[in-house]
Chain A
Amino acid sequence: MGVTKENLEASLKAKLNPSHLEVVDTSGGCGASFVVEIVSEQFEGKRLLERHRMVNAALEEEMKEIHALSIKKTVTPEQWKQQQEANQSNAAA
């Protein structure tokens, strides 16, 4: 049993309506462990702490069984677009 990547994706999609979502299972033997990247309009106007709180709240049930959750990115679609463009120009340089 336990929590799966699919469980996390379903909960995050239902609660934060992301335009981009990436959940990576990084469990290495000591229990369920995940890295999350999420792009959502709901982060607009919110500080990083509040954004992380929103992700934690969306995963309230799953958190009871998760050993480690790393919230790598919580950005708005606008920030995401800027970051993607910056990455591309870096790659081209």
Chain B
Amino acid sequence: TIRCASALTPQLKSTLDTVIASNKIVLFMKGTKDFPQCGFSNTVVQILKSLNVPFETLNILENDMLRQGLKEYSSWPTFPQLYIDGEFFGGCDITVEAYKNGELQELLEKTMLS
């Protein structure tokens, strides 16, 4: 039988492990924080900016292997993907919901203090 090769190679997985472990807040998105190229990515960037927290962004449009591999890594089919304190937090809808009910602020405060 023919099987599709996984985009998540061991090298990519260990690179992602390192990126996520060494940055408290990482957003994998379409575009960059200064030039978001999709409304959903832009929404999350604006939320993070309004909360005044430092965050890294990685542009998945520049690297198709990263884009495909991340879907497997996070078990999440769409972008943006937000990681907080080494853990997958969610996509745009979850981030908006958590922002509205205050859970996001609480988690970010805790994360920045840790």
Contacts and interface: CB of A to CB of B under 8 A. Distances in A.
Interface of A: 48-49, 52-53, 56, 60, 63, 68-72
Contacts, number: 28
Contact of B94 (A48, A60, A68, A69): A48
Contacts of B40: 68, 70
Q: In terms of DSSP, what is the predominant structure of the interface of chain B?
A: mixed
Given A68-B40, A70-B92, A48 B78 contact: no
Given A48-B97, A68-B40, A63 B77 contact: yes
Nearest to B77: A63
B42 to A, nearest CB: 13
Contacts of B94: 48-49, 52
A53 B75 contact: yes
Interface string B84-107: 000011111110011000000000
A70 B40 CA distance: 9
B78 A52 contact: no
B93 A71 contact: yes
Main secondary structure of the interface of A (DSSP, over half): helix
Interface of B: 40, 75-78, 88-94, 97-98
5 contacts: A48-B97, A48-B98, A53-B76, A56-B77, A70-B40
A11 B36 CA distance: 32
A71 B95 CA distance: 11
Contact of A49 (B77, B78, B90, B92): B90
Nearest to B76: A56
A53 B74 CA distance: 10
A70 B90 contact: no
